[in-house]
Structures are given as structure tokens and as C-alpha cells.
């Protein structure tokens, strides 16, 4: 019963932009530093020290960007779907902020996954692009991202925009299991997963350890990006509320800047 109350309290707090802004201040720094360290280590390890593959040679190293990009792109979409669900039912303002923050990064990472896949596919498969289950469902993911982005740009009314993008985000999540299981349900050119949470990787440790570092680095980078974007958006939405004014006053006093110019920058 006590846990239940605590969860409830947490749930209500989560809807408060002010609380969100305060609690995430240290998270952003944490994720930023972790991303920097992990990506720097992972890239050098993956590109310079990991052994070449016995069949593909060095071109297999593209996987160290391709796999994390695709994983994080799908995770961000799941995040948008969950945010959409919560937003539709509980009408929390923060969920729309979250959707808007996951969107651009997810779009770019999906495009990156498709691009790196093509660069790898040309020497390995012998083709830049093939219409198989995995590639097509990933292309659908890219179109979903682009569609929601366009939708959000096209609707000026904030509430309507929030509801429309929450709806599309939620419905679009049915594509995620399709991407994941495409390689098992159908004959595809794309190989099945080499690297997953549940199974032993299909490669030796000296190859998958750098991949793990890269995956964690990508996730930290995404955490940093999404939180930073959300915080900026929260500030601009709440620009007239007292806590933001106080916050900015404190900041501008530190930097010796006029407060009005800062507030104007905060608006979109």
C-alpha cells in the first residue's frame, strides 16, 4: 500500500514540468559525460583494435555504427509510443514535449542505420538496397518519423498537435515488432540478430565488447540529447511562469546579462 502511494506521488510529480526540469539537471551532465567517454573509447576500440572479420575483412566495422544507430532509433520510437499512450490517456503536457524531443534524433538515427546498411550491403551483398522484410520495415520507420515531424510542423494549435502526434506515435509502434521479427518470420537477405539482450553474441568477445560500448554510448548520447531538448522546450513553454523567471533571473545575474533578452530566446 505504501509503495502504491509512493508510485502515485511519483506519477503526479512526473507530470510537473518544474520538477522535471530540476531533477534532470544532473542527469544531462551525467549522460553527456558518459556518452563522450563511451563513444570515444568504443570508436577507437572498434575501428583500430577489434580484429577484422574472416570473410568481410574491415567492412564489417560498419556494424559498430549501424547496430547501435538502429537499436536506438527503434528505442526512441518505442519511447514516443509510450509517451503517446500516456499523453492520450492522462493528457500530461510533458509527454508531448518528450515526443517532440525523441523525434529529430530518431529520424536521423534511422536514416543513419539505412545509410550505413547500404554502405555495408554494397560490398557484402553486392547491392546498395534490397527490398526485404528488414530493410522495408526500417524504411517504414523512417517514413513514420518523417510523417510525424511533418504533422507537428503543419498543426499550429498545440493541443491538437499533441493529440495528433501522440496518436500516430502510438499506432506506429506496431511496426517495431515487425522490424524485430522480420528476419525470423520471412526469408530475408538481412541476417538475424548477432547481438541481443537475451542470447550469447554470435561473435567472440573481442568483437562484441566494443559493440556493447558503442551501444551504451549511443544510448547515453540519446539520453543527453532528448533530455536537453525536453528541458529547452519546457523552459520555452513555461517562459511566463514564476519558477522559470526566477531561474532565468538567477542565471542572468550570474552571467551579468539582461533578463529580458534571455526570455525572448527561450520562446519559439
The residue to which cell 577507437 is assigned? 44
- String of contacts with other proteins for each residue 234-253, x by CB under 8 A: --------------------
Q: Which of 23, 33, 47, 171 binds other proteins (CB under 8 A)?
A: 171
- String of contacts with other proteins for each residue 132-161, x by CB under 8 A: xx----------------------------
- String of contacts with other proteins for each residue 72-91, x by CB under 8 A: -------------x--xxx-
* Residue positions counted in the chain: 268
Paired residues of 57 in beta bridges: 53
Q: Which of 43, 108, 112, 167 binds other proteins (CB under 8 A)?
A: 167
Q: What are the Cα distances from residue 126, in Å, to 53, 112, 119?
A: 17, 20, 10
Q: Which residues contact 15 (CB under 8 A, 6 or more apart)?
A: 90, 92, 93, 94
Q: How many residues bind other proteins (CB under 8 A)?
A: 45
> Which DSSP helix (H) or strand (E) runs through 208?
helix 205-237
Q: What are the Cα distances from residue 25, in Å, to 2, 5, 52, 74, 245?
A: 28, 26, 41, 26, 17
CB of 30 to other proteins, least distance (A): 32
Q: Which of 30, 115, 125, 149 binds other proteins (CB under 8 A)?
A: 125
Of residues 6 through 25, those in contact with other proteins by CB under 8 A are: none
- What is the DSSP code (8-state) at residue 202? S
Based on C-alpha coordinates, what's the Rg of the chain?
21
- String of contacts with other proteins for each residue 26-55, x by CB under 8 A: -------------------------xxxxx
Q: Among positive and negative, which fits the CA dihedral 253, 254, 260, 266? A: negative
∠262-227-162 over CA atoms, to 5°? 85
CB of 194 or CB of 252, closer to other proteins: 194
CB of 51 or CB of 250, closer to other proteins: 51
User: Quick check: 131 binds other proteins (CB under 8 A)?
Assistant: yes
Which stretches of the chain bind other proteins, using CB under 8 A?
Answer: 51-60, 63, 85, 88-90, 123-127, 130-133, 167, 170-171, 173-175, 178, 185-189, 191-194, 202-204, 206-207
Amino acid at each position: 500500500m505504501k509503495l502504491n502511494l509512493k508510485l502515485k506521488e511519483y506519477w503526479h510529480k512526473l507530470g510537473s514540468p518544474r520538477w522535471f526540469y530540476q531533477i534532470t539537471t544532473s542527469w544531462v551532465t551525467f549522460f553527456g559525460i558518459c556518452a563522450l567517454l563511451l563513444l570515444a573509447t568504443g570508436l577507437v576500440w572498434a575501428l583500430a583494435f577489434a580484429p577484422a572479420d574472416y570473410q568481410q575483412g574491415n567492412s564489417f566495422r560498419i556494424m559498430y555504427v549501424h547496430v547501435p544507430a538502429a537499436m536506438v532509433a527503434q528505442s526512441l520510437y518505442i519511447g514516443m509510443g509510450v509517451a503517446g499512450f500516456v499523453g492520450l490517456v492522462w493528457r500530461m503536457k510533458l509527454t508531448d514535449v518528450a515526443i517532440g524531443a525523441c523525434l529529430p534524433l530518431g529520424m536521423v538515427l534511422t536514416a543513419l542505420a539505412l545509410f550505413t546498411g547500404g554502405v555495408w550491403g554494397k560490398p557484402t551483398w553486392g547491392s546498395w538496397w534490397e527490398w526485404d522484410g528488414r530493410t522495408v520495415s526500417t524504411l517504414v520507420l523512417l517514413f513514420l518519423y518523417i510523417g510525424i515531424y511533418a504533422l507537428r510542423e503543419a498543426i499550429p494549435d498545440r493541443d491538437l498537435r499533441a493529440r495528433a502526434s501522440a496518436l500516430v506515435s502510438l499506432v506506429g509502434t506496431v511496426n517495431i515488432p515487425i522490424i524485430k521479427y522480420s528476419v525470423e518470420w520471412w526469408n530475408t537477405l538481412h541476417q538475424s540478430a548477432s547481438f541481443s539482450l537475451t542470447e550469447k553474441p554470435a561473435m567472440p568477445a573481442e568483437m562484441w565488447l566494443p559493440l556493447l560500448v558503442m551501444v551504451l554510448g549511443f544510448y547515453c548520447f540519446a539520453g543527453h540529447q532528448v533530455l536537453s531538448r525536453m528541458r529547452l522546450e519546457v523552459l520555452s513553454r513555461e517562459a511566463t511562469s514564476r519558477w522559470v523567471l526566477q531561474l532565468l533571473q538567477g542565471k542572468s545575474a550570474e552571467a551579468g546579462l539582461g533578463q529580458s533578452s534571455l526570455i525572448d530566446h527561450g520562446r519559439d
